[in-house]
Amino acid sequence: MNGKTILAFLQEHWYFVTLACGVLILMGAICNWNWLCDPAGKPHGDGFTRGGRRVLFFLLGGLLIVVSILSVKK
């Protein structure tokens, strides 16, 4: 497979990428992964606490999963 074939596949089936990102973000929020939930050193890090970031990423991951499931061509 070359780059054009992979790009064409991802453009045709973009919902696989959103599903994978949604699952990754959801798992990061549930497992409280430092690289995702730790506000130290991140832009606007003082705006959200660690728990607030976990809730935000949980909702974002769930939204990405729902969008990818609803967008599957039938």
Domain coordinates in residue numbering, the chain: 13-70
Q: What is the pLDDT of residues 15-73, one digit of tens each?
A: 899 999 999 999 999 998 888 887 776 666 667 788 888 999 999 999 999 999 998 86
Helices (H), the chain: 3-12, 14-31, 34-37, 50-70
pLDDT given at position 68: 92
From residue 45, how far is each of 10, 26, 33, 52 by CA, in Å? 33, 20, 16, 11
Tokens found for residue 2: 């070359």
Q: What is the pLDDT of residue 44?
A: 66
